[in-house]
Amino acid sequence: MNNCAEECVKKKKSCRKKSCRKWIDYRQDLNCTEIAVQKNGAMTLKEVGKRLNLSYVRITQLEKAALQKMRKKAFTKDSTNYYNE
């Protein structure tokens, strides 16, 4: 856990650094995604949507897009390795 998150946990106060890329508007997890993951472990897409104030459908769309990017990158990487051998 980073220093900012550790400080919030020790003080038991929500993070106020809205400029932090890990900040979320979810006070139950002290406004920090890092604390949310540490506290809750693996979460469902509905739980993630609740924390980010997005619908389950939108979270599913984002997940599919991210997986496509990962597959494309893995395919490209595998293809270059094939040609370099």
Burial class (CB in 10 A: 0-12, 13-18, 19+), 30: buried
Tell me the pLDDT of the chain averaged across its residues: 89
Name the β-bridge partners of 40: none
pLDDT (0 to 100) of residue 49: 95
Name the β-bridge partners of 23: 32
d(C-alpha 1, C-alpha 21), whole Å: 14
Among all chains, which residue has been given the structure tokens 């924390």? 51
* Coil vs helix vs strand at 32: strand
pLDDT (0 to 100) of residue 40: 94
d(C-alpha 5, C-alpha 1), whole Å: 6
pLDDT at residue 61 tops 70: yes
Q: What is the DSSP letter of 41?
A: -
The larger pLDDT score, comparing residue 77 to residue 6, is at 6
